[in-house]
Amino acid sequence: MKRTEIIKKNYEYKYFFKKGNYFSGKYLEIFIHTNKLEKNRLGVVISKKVGNSVVRHRIRRLILESYSSLENELSNINILICWKKKVKFDRNLSFFDVKYDLENILRKANIVKK
C-alpha cells in the first residue's frame, strides 16, 4: 500500500460517514469521497459485535489485502470500508470472496472498470 494513507482520526471517520457516497455488497459497506491529494486514504471499520479481536483482525487483514490488490486502479479517493454487522464471520470465508465483493462494489461506484 505505497500510495495509500491510513485514516486514524475520529473526526475523519465521522466526516466520511457523513459526506461519502454509500455503496453496499454482500459483506462490505463502502463510503467513497474524492479528494484533492495525490494519495488515496483508507479507513477500515469492524464492529465489536462481529467477534473477538482475533476475528476482527483477520477480517481487517482480508480487507487490506483485497484493497492492496486493487490499489493501482484507484486514484485520489477516500475509502471507508465497513464490515456489515449482520454478517457473521465464517472460517471458510476466503480472500477471494472479500476481493470479489470489493471489486463489485467499486464497479457499482464506477471507480474500477473491468
The CATH number of 4-108, from 3.30.230.10, 1.10.1040.10, 3.40.640.10, 3.30.1600.10, is 3.30.230.10
Q: Above pLDDT 90, what percent of the chain?
A: 52
Q: Where are the domains of the chain?
A: 4-108
| Predicted TM-score (pTM) of this structure | 0.89
Is the pLDDT reported for residue 48 higher than 80?
yes
Confidence of residue 114 (pLDDT cuts 50, 70, 90): low
* Per-residue burial over 59-94, b = 16 or more CB atoms within 10 Å of its CB, e = otherwise: beebbbebbeeeeeebeebbbbbbbeeeeebeeeee
Higher pLDDT, 109 or 88: 109
- Which three three-digit cell numbers place residue 31? 463510503
